[in-house]
Structure 1
Amino acid sequence: MEVIFKLKEGRRYTIGALDISGNKLGATNPVFTTEALQQVVTSPSLRRGAYRPEVDRFITGEAFATVALDAATEKLREYYGQMGYQNIQVEALRAPNFQTGAIAVTFKIQEGERFTVRSLDIQGNTKTRSTVIARELALSPGEVFDLARVRVSEARLRSTQFFKEVRLVPVPSPVPNQSDLRVIVEEGSTGSVSFGAGYSTVEQLVGFVEYSEGNFDFTNPEGWYRGGGQKFRVKLQAGSVSNAFEHSFEEPALWERELAVGYKIERRYTGYSSANYNVVNEGVGVYVRRRLFGNVEGRIAYDLRRVSVGDVTPTAPLDVQAEDGHPKTISSVTLSLTQDTRDEFNFPTKGSRLSLSEEIAGNGLGGSLDYFRTELRTGKWFLLSQTAEQTLGLIGRVGTIAGSGGNLPFYERFYLGGAYDMRGFDYNDVGAASTWDTTNGNQPVGGLTYGYLSAEYTIKAADNLRLAAFYDYGFVNKEAARFSLSEANSDVGVGLRILLGGAVMRLDFGFPLQTTINPATGAELNTGGMKFNFSFGTVF
C-alpha cells in the first residue's frame, strides 16, 4: 500500500519586535533595564554550549523558531537567577502580524524576591566528611543564592569522582528571603587494590601491584582511612625491560583552605629505550597547587632527581656513550597554569584543556644541568552528533628547551613516536634526520624542539566501548626554538577505546604517511609499515 503525504508549507514567519515588561528593578538597577534584558535575549548564553548555536540567540528579522524562543526565555531566568531571584517567572507573549509575517514577542516578567543562602544541608555522605563537600561549593551561607554558582558547585563535586550521584537543590527556610542549599550525594567507589600482568608495546611484558585511594584520610583509621578527600597511591612494577616504584600523596585542602600540597617518590629502571643501554631515574618531588579563578589552576613544583646511564655497549649512540658513568643530578622548579572545562575525563564530548608549563633547572637551584623547558599542551573536543555520541578531539603540543649549551643529555630531550602520540611509528622514532645517530645503525637521540597535532574521531559502540579513527602529525628538531616543518612525520590509523576499571585501554593500528629520510643515503630512517600500540590511560 502506498501512502502519500501532502504538505502545505504556508509562509515562513520571522521574529518581530522584542519587548520586556514587568522588569520593575530596571528603574533603579541598570542590569535589569529593558535594554540590558534585550541584550540577554539576543546574545549567546552565559553558559557556553548550553544551547545549540542555531537557537542560542533570538534576533529581530531572523526565522522564528519555538526552540529559540524557549532558549531566550530560559536565558532570562538564568540571568535573574545569578542575582539570587529564585522565583523569577518569564512568560513569552506572541503577537503575529499575518500581513508582514513577523511575530512580535513580549517577555512578561514577575521578578519575585531576592534570596540568600541561609545554611547548607549535606545528605548522603556516609563516607566523605561534610567539610570535604563544603569546600567544593562555589557559594556559602550569607551569600546571594546564585543559581549559576549552584551549577558550578555541582560540576565541581562531580569532578572529584567521589560520588555516583550529585544533586543541589534550594529548600525553603522559615526565614523570609533565605533558602537552604541541600546537597544530596551518593557515595561511589574511590579506592582500588589491583595486581596483574600485561603487555604493552612500550614496556612489553610487565607485572604490577597497586593500591590507590582517591578519597583517603590518614586521620581516620576507624573509617578504613577514607573520607578526607586526600589522594594516596603506591605502585610496584616489574617487567622484562623495566621496573619501578612509585608513591604519591596529596592533601587537597591544607588547613581547610583552597590550597593543595603533595609529594611523590619514585625510582624507575628503564631498558626499553634501547637494547644497548639502560637508564635509572630516581627522585622526589613536592608541589603546591591552587585554583586561581574559574577553571584555572596554578601549580608550583620542586623536583630533585638523579639519572644514571649504565650497561652501555659499543653499539650505543655516541650521545649515550658520552653519559656512561657520568650520573647527573637535576634540581628544578616547574611553574604551570591549567584550564580544564571537559565534561568528562575518560570520554570527553565537549570542552577543552589548556596547560602551560615552565621548568627551570639549575640556574641557582643546584644540580648538574642548567636549562629552561617550556611546553604548551591543548585539547578541544566537539560533539558532532548525539547519535552514537560521535566526537571529534583535537590535541596539540609544542615545546622547546634552552640552556646547557645545547648539549642536554639524551634522556632530557623531547621524543615522539609510539602509543602516546605518533601511533604509526615505533617508540621515540619520530624526528628530523639530525636527531638520529647513524654511526651505529639508525638510533634516535631526541631533540630540543617538538610539535605535535592529532585529530581523533570516536563513535560510541557500547557504554564502555568507542571506535576511533585518527591522524597524527609531528616533528622533533635538534635545535632549540626551531619549529621547522620540513622534516615532519605523519600517520593515520584506527583503534578501540575500552573503559576498564576507571582507565581507558587504547588499542591502535597506525600507518605511517610522511617519514624521515637519511640525506646521506636516501633511505628511510623510521619506517616499517603498520604499527600496533596497546596502552592504558587518558592521553592529553
Structure 2
Amino acid sequence: MRVIGTALRATTIAALLLAVACVAQTFSVTSAVAAVVNRIDVTGNERVEDETVRAYMTVQPRRAYSDQDVDDSLRALYATGLFSDVAINKRGAVLVVSVTENALIYKVSFEGNDKYDDKMLLTQVKSKPRSVLSRAKVEADTQLLLELYRRKGRYRATVEPKIIKLAQNRVNLVFEINEGDKTGVARINFIGNHAFSDSRLRDVIKTRESGLLSFIRSTDSYDPSRLESDQEALREYYLRHGYADFRIISAVADLDRERNTFFVTFTVEEGEQYTIGEVNVQSSLASVGPEELASAVRTDPGDTYDSREVDKTLEDIVLEVSERGYAFAEVNPRGERDYENHTINITYHVDEGPRVYIERIDIRGNTRTRDYVIRRELDFAEGDAFNRVLINKAKRRLKNLGFFKDVAITTQRGSSADRVVIVVNVEEQATGELSFGAGYSSAEGVIGDVSITERNFLGRGQFVRAAVGGGESTRTYEFSFREPYFMGRRLSAGFDLYRRQYEETDYRSYEETTTGGNLTFGLPLNEEVQLNLTYSAYQRDFDVADELKDGCYMRKYNRGDPIPRSCDRNGDGKFDRNLDTDEASLAVKDAIGETFTSIIGYSLIYDTRDDIKRPRDGYYGKFQQEFAGVGGDVAFIRTTVEGRAYREIWADRGIVGMLKVKAGHIESLDDRLKLPDHFFLGGETIRGFGTKGIGPRDGMTRDALGGRYYIAGTAEATFPLPAVPSEIGLEGALFTDAGTLVDVDDSANFFRRVNVVGDNGDLRWAAGFGVIWHSPFGPIRADFAWPIVKSKWDETQVFRIGGGTQF
C-alpha cells in the first residue's frame, strides 16, 4: 500500500508540474503576441502627415496589439492608395512605420488618339492631374479606355500606360493608344423567320452591315447595348404585326479576330399571326360599368393584333377611371388564344388596385438635362397614386424627346409597405447639330444651307435653330425658337424670324423679298391630336425687272400693232437690238410694290405615323385656316387641308403604299387678291409638270396667274431596289399624281386686257417612277414623270430632282 501511495503522489506531482509548464508556455506565447509600444514613428513620408498615417492604423500606443492588428494596419494603409510600399517593425518600445509614397500625377495625356479628343478621354479616366498615382487605378483606366473604343467598334484597339518620372516624386501619366481598324459587322443573319425576310428585319434593327458607307456611319460596328435594343425592336415589330407568341431564342455576335469583323445571328421563333376575336371589358369598380369604358377600347374584332393598340387602350381606360375617382385602378389585359382559328379574345379587367403611393422620384444619369425637363413628362408626382400604366407611358414620352440614348424606369420599396420610390435612369446623347446642306432643285438650280440646331438648349428642352441658305436665284435667313412647356404647362410656344429673297428666273418673271416672322402656340389635345395657334406678319417687296415692264413685247407687236417709240429709238420699225422683247403680265406688274400682311390662324394636326422621316404605317391629317386683315394691307381667308395614309402593302418585301390628298381655297375679304396671295400648282405637287406649270395663265406672256381653288392627290408605292445592297439605302417608287388649279381672281379692271387661259378646272394627270437615296446625309430623290392628261397651256417637265445633304 505504501508503494501505491508513493506512486500516486509522484503521479500527482508530475501532473501538476506539467500543467504549470503548459500555463507558463501559454503565458509566454500570449505575451509575445499581445505586445505594447509607447509610441509610433512614421518614416519615409513627404506629403502625408504622420497623424494621417497613424489614423489608418489599428495599433495604438500603450495598448496591447497582436500580429493580426499589424496585418490589418498594413492592409488599411495600402488601401488608401497613397503608398507603394509599407513596412511595420518594432524597435524596443517604438513601432516604426516605414512608407514609400505613391508619386503625384503632374499631367495626364494621350497619344495616338484620333476618334476621341484628349478632353473627352480625360473625363473617362479616374486618374487625374494632382491626384496620387495608383497602379490599380491605372489598370482600371486602361480597361475603361479599351471598353470605350470597343463601343466605337474598334476591338483591335490597344492601350498601354507609360509613367514618366519627374522631380519631387511627380510623374506624367501617358496612355499610348493604338486605335486599330474599325471592327465592322460582316453579316447579320436571322434563323427561324418566315413571315419577314432577312432584308426586312435588317431594316427594323439599328445595327447595320459594313459596306460602302461605313466610313460615315457608326451603326455598322458591334455594340452590346445596341444589340439589346435591336432585340427589343424586333419584339415590338412582330407584336405590332400580330405575332403574339414571338420570342427571341438567342442573339449572338461572333468575332472573327483574323478578319476583324463580327457575324451577328438572331435566332427567333415567330409563332402564328393572330387577329382579334371578341373584345370585352370587365369592371369590379362600383360606379364604373364596362359599357362606360367601351369607348376607350381601340382593339376592334377582325383587326390584326397590335400590341400598341392594347397599350393605348390600357392608358385610355386608366385615365378614364382616374377621372371618375379611382386613382389606384389597375387594368390587366388577358388574351385567350384560339390556336385553331388564330384569333385572340381580349378581356380588359379593371380592378381596384392596392393603395400604393409614390414616396419619391429620383432622376439619375442626367448630367446636362435639367431635372424638371424630365419630371414634366411624367403624369404623376410625389404623393400621387402609383400606377404601372402611367410609368410605361412616361417611359415612351421620355424616349420620344430624342434627348436620351436609353431610358429605364424602375421601382424600389419605400419607407413603408404602401410607399414606393420611382427611379428614372437616363443615358444622355448629343442633341446639337451643325449641318451643311447641298443639293439640286430643278426649279432653283444648285442650293445649299448652313444651320446650327440644338434640340435641348442649355438642358432646358428648348429648340433653337439658325440657318443661312441660298442658291442661284434665292437667299434665305432663318432663326427659330421653341419652348415645349410654356409657363410650366404642356403648351408649346415659339417664334420664327426669316428673310427670303427670290430673283427672276425662267419660271418667275419677278423679284420678291419677304421679311417677317411667326408666333406659334401648340396645345396637345391628346397623344395624336394637336391644336396650333399662329400669328404671322411679313413685309413683301415685289418688283419686276425693268426690261419686263417697259412695254416692249414682241409677240404683241407681231400682230400688226405699231412699235412704240420707246422700243424703236432709231425709227426703223424694228425693236432695238439692246432690248429684251419679253414682258411681264399686267397681273404681275399690278403686284409691284411693298405690302404688309398680318395673319392669325389655327391648325388641327392628327398624326399616328410610326416614323416621321420614313413612315410605313399610320395616318397624318392637317386642317388649317388663316385670316389676313388684322391690320396690314390685304384681307383674305385661306383654308387648306391635307391627309396622308401609309400602309405596308407587302411587309416582307418592304413595299409601302401611300395615299395623299390635299386641297385649298382662298377668298378675298376686301377688293380682290393680289397675284402672290394666290395658290400655285406645279411639279412639286403633280410631277411631270414644271414649277407653277398648271392652272390659269396669261395667254400673251405665259406668266402663271395662280388660282383660288386647288385639289391634288397622289398614290405611290416605294420598294427596295432589287439586286442593290440594302446598306446603300436606295429605294424605287412608282406613283401617279392628279389635280387641278382654278379660278384666278380677275375682278380687277386690267384683266379686261389680259387673255386668261387654262382657267377651266380641267383635271391634270401624270404618272412615273422615282429613285430615292436615303443617304446618311439626308434623302435625295429623282423623279421621272410624264403627263397623261394636260392642257395645251401647261408647262411640262419630265425630270425633277430635289433633296439635300447634311454632313
**TM-score category (smaller protein):** 0.7 to 0.9
Cα gap change, 1:175 to 1:300, in 2 (>3 Å): same
Q: 2:646 aligns with which of 381, 397, 402?
A: 381
Alignment of 1:471 onto 2:736: yes
CA distance in 2, matches of 1:245, 1:71: 41
- Structure 1: gaps spanning 5 or more residues: 1-14, 57-69, 218-226, 517-523
Aligned to 2:426: 185
Secondary structure in 1 aligned to 2:519? strand
In structure 2, which of residues 585, 601, 611 is the aligned counterpart of residue 334 of structure 1? 601
Equivalent pair of 2:336/2:344 in contact (CA under 8 Å): no
* 2: CA distance, partners of 1:19 / 1:423: 48
Which of 633, 645, 652 is equivalent to 1:368? 633
2:612 corresponds, among 329, 340, 345, to 345
RMSD: 4.1
Among 53, 66, 70, the alignment partner of 2:303 is 53
Cα deviation, residue 159, structure 1: 3.2
Cα separation, partners in 2 of 1:486 and 1:369, compared to 1, 3 Å? closer
- The amino acid of 1:274's aligned partner reads Y
Query: What pairs with 1:393-432 in structure 2 (closer than 5 Å)?
Result: 393-405=658-670, 407-419=672-684, 421-431=685-695
1:504 aligns with 2:779: yes
2:789 aligned to 509, 514, 527, which one? 514
Residue 520 of structure 2: which of 284, 287, 303 is its match?
287
Q: In the TM superposition, what is the alpha-carbon distance from 1:270 to its structure 2 partner?
A: 0.8
Deviation at 1:467, TM superposition (A): 2.8
Cα pair distance change 1:79/1:203, threshold 3 Å: closer
Offset at residue 125 of structure 1 (A) = 2.8
Question: 2:793 — aligned with what?
Answer: 525
How far apart in 2 are the matches of 1:382 and 1:502? 26
AA aligned to 1:473 is: A
Whether the 8 Å contact between 1:85 and 1:115 is mirrored in structure 2 is no
Report if the CA contact (8 A) 1:278-1:311 is conserved: yes
CA distance in 2, matches of 1:140, 1:386: 41
- Find 2:473's aligned residue among 223, 238, 241: 241
**Aligned letter for 2:762?**
E
Which of 372, 383, 389 is matched with 1:131 structurally?
372
Aligned partner of 1:520 in structure 2 is none
The answer to whether structure 1 residue 359 and structure 2 residue 617 are counterparts is: no
Figure out how many residues of one structure are paired with residues of the other and give that number.
467
CA distance in 1, matches of 2:618, 2:795: 35
Contact 1:162/1:190 (8 A) holds in 2: yes
Q: Which one has a larger percent strand, Structure 1 or Structure 2?
A: 1
1:372 deviates by 0.7
Superposed CA deviations along residues 381-409 of structure 1, whole A, max 9, x for unmatched, are 22333314332222221111111557312
Shift of 1:503: 4.2
CA displacement at 1:527 relative to structure 2: 4.7
Alpha-carbon shift at residue 172 of structure 1 (Å): 4.9
Inter-partner Cα distance in structure 2 for 1:212 and 1:414: 31
Are positions 1:438 and 2:671 aligned together? no
Contact kept in structure 2, 1:199 and 1:205, CA below 8 Å: yes
Aligned equivalent of 1:310: 543
| Alignment pair present for 1:252 and 2:516 | no
Q: CA deviation at 1:30?
A: 4.5
Q: How far apart, in 2, do the equivalents of 1:496 and 1:129 lie?
A: 43
**Residue deviations 1:198-251, cap 9 Å, x none?**
32223212232211111113xxxxxxxxx2111111111232111111111122
| 1:133-171 deviation per Cα after TM superposition (whole angstroms, max 9, x unaligned) | 222234444444444444443443333332333444555
Larger Rg: 2
| Cα 1:426–1:45 shift into 2, 3 Å | same
The residue matched to 2:368 in structure 1 has which SS? coil
TM-score by length of 1: 0.74
Is residue 343–residue 350 contact of structure 1 (8 Å, CA) maintained in 2?
A: yes
* Contact 2:411-2:420 within 8 A present in 1 as well: yes
Distance across 1 between alignment mates of 2:705 and 2:761: 19
Verify the 8 A CA contact 2:296 2:313 in the aligned structure 1: no
Corresponding residue for residue 113 of structure 1: 354
Corresponding residue number in structure 1 for 2:770: 495
Q: CA deviation at 1:306?
A: 1.0
CA contact (8 A) 2:364 2:423 kept: yes
Give 1:307 deviation, angstroms: 0.9
Give the drift of 1:448.
Answer: 0.9
Higher relative contact order (CA 8 A, sep 6+): 1
Among all aligned residue pairs of Structure 1 and Structure 2, give the percentage whose two residues are the same amino acid.
Answer: 25
Deviation at 1:263, TM superposition (A): 1.4
User: Unpaired runs of 5+ in structure 2?
Assistant: 1-275, 322-327, 550-582, 746-758
User: How do residues 123-272 of structure 1 correspond to structure 2 at under 5 angstroms?
Assistant: 123-169=364-410, 172-217=413-458, 227-271=459-503, 272=505
Give the conservation status (yes or no) of the 8 Å contact 1:296–1:338: yes
Contact 1:406 1:479 in 2 (8 A): no
**Equivalent residue number for residue 67 of structure 2:** none
For the 8 Å contact 1:436–1:445, the answer to whether it is kept is yes
Structure 2 distance, partners of 1:184, 1:493, is: 50
Amino acid at match of 2:511: N
* 1:353, distance to aligned residue in structure 2 (A): 1.9
Say if 1:119 and 1:378 are closer, same or farther in 2 by CA, change over 3 A: farther
- AA matched with 2:453: S
Report how far residue 413 of structure 1 moved. 1.1
Aligned partner of 2:765: which letter? S
Change (3 A) 1:278 1:193: same
Q: 1:336 to 1:273 in 2, by over 3 A?
A: farther
Distance 2:720 2:355 in 1: 44
| C-alpha separation in 2, matches of 1:430 and 1:16 | 50
Q: CA deviation at 1:28?
A: 3.6
1:346–1:503 contact (8 Å) kept in structure 2: no
Deviates more, 1:335-344 or 1:461-470: 461-470
Q: 1:288 to 1:81 in 2, by over 3 A?
A: closer
* Distance across 2 between alignment mates of 1:485 and 1:170: 67
